[in-house]
């Protein structure tokens, strides 16, 4: 690019009217990429592309879905696919959905499994399978569907597809377990988190998630062990201190409960749960003052 054709990051933010955080997110999704070696220069095409992204996200179309739209078209036309989605016609629909139209064909990019080809005669159509998605494509589908409550089942199915095909991949297991947990299927969540701990025993989030769901399943002592392991790996994990304080109170160990309530407040004094933690700490302090020699069994 010549100097007149390139724009700095600051220029892009000002001209398009977006934040640095938005631009970084869209770059991570590969919706736009700077073209200089120092990754600081953008061209006119990038400005058009970014304005398209801004317009569509303003219509409540998730940026991840735009990435899926472009990927879906590239899979269908690998030899003559468009350089980017500015060459596509993207039609927003309800719920953040988007239909992709390219070369007389409409594609639903989230499912990515069916392609609708319009024939020469009005009203005629045929459906054929689209090329198989890669694991990375399935992860994008899952992440995209997570943000839409009406597509939650599709998100779970996408994660299950990844877990079955790539059993050693940690992130899909954690995300799938979280979706199961949020849906109230604690047994299924625990199974995913157990597998996560097996393949990544040094991951504090895997231990934290497993400990949290085991507590809900009534296995509080085992839950405490995993939460303690999470804190060995990440001593500043505030939520692990919070959950451990609750569990130790349940188990009757006021000393350990008090220690974890106190540490939680040191780490996260202004959270939405901080007031409850302070109240519990005050209650334990009053109990200790009233019964200085009382030690509850651990």
The first and second tokens of residue 75, run together, are: 């899979």
Domains of the chain in sequence order: 1-58 (1.10.1660.10), 60-132 (no CATH)
Residue scoring higher pLDDT (53 or 246): 246
Counting residues of the chain whose pLDDT is more than 90, the rounded percentage is: 40
| pLDDT category of residue 158 using cuts at 50, 70 and 90 | confident
The first and second tokens of residue 106, run together, are: 């409409």
Region of poorest pLDDT, from 123-137, 138-152, 243-257 = 123-137
Mean pLDDT (the chain) is: 79
Segment 227-252 shows an average pLDDT of: 95
pLDDT at 194: 97
How many whole angstroms separate alpha carbon 260 and alpha carbon 94? 46
Long-range contacts of 278-287 (CB under 8 A, 24+ apart): 280/245, 280/249, 284/249, 284/254, 284/257, 284/258, 285/258, 287/254
pLDDT at 274: 92
Region of poorest pLDDT, from 7-11, 121-125, 161-165 = 121-125
Residue scoring higher pLDDT (15 or 36): 15
Question: How does pLDDT run across 61-98, given as a tens digit for each residue?
Answer: 777 777 777 776 666 666 655 555 556 676 666 655 66
**CB of 17 closer than 8 Å to CB of 10:** no
The DSSP annotation for 117-167 comes to: EE-SSTT-EEEEEPPPPPHHHHHHHHHHHHT-GGGHHHHHHHHHHHHHH-T
| pLDDT category of residue 115 using cuts at 50, 70 and 90 | very low
Residue 201, pLDDT above cutoff 90: yes
Tell whether pTM > 0.85.
no
pLDDT at 94: 60
Residue 40, pLDDT above cutoff 70: no
pLDDT at 221: 97
């Amino acid at each position: 690019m010549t100097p007149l054709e390139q724009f700095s990051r600051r220029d892009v933010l000002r001209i398009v009217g977006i934040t640095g955080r938005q631009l970084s997110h869209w770059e991570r999704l590969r919706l736009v990429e700077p073209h200089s070696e120092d990754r600081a220069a953008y061209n006119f095409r990038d400005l058009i592309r970014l304005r398209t992204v801004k317009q569509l996200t303003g219509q409540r179309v998730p940026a991840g879905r735009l990435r899926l739209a472009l990927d879906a078209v590239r899979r269908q036309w690998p030899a003559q696919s468009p350089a980017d989605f500015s060459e596509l016609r993207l039609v927003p629909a309800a719920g953040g959905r988007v239909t992709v139209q390219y070369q007389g064909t409409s594609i639903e990019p989230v499912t990515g499994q069916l392609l609708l080809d319009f024939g020469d005669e009005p009203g005629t159509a045929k459906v054929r399978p689209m090329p198989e998605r890669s694991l990375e494509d399935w992860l994008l589908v899952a992440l995209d569907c997570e943000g839409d409550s009406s597509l939650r089942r599709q998100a779970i199915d996408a994660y299950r597809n990844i877990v079955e095909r790539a059993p050693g991949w940690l992130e899909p297991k954690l995300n799938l377990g979280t979706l199961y947990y949020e849906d109230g299927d604690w047994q299924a969540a625990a199974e995913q988190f157990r597998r996560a701990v097996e393949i990544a025993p040094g991951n504090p989030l895997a231990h934290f998630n497993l400990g949290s769901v085991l507590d809900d399943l009534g296995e509080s002592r085992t839950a405490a062990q995993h939460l303690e392991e999470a804190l060995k790996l990440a001593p500043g994990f505030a939520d692990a201190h919070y959950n451990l304080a609750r569990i130790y109170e349940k188990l009757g160990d006021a000393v350990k409960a008090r220690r974890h309530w106190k540490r939680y407040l040191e780490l996260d004094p202004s959270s939405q749960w901080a007031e409850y933690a302070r109240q519990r700490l005050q209650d334990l302090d009053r109990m200790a003052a009233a019964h200085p020699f009382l030690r509850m069994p651990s």
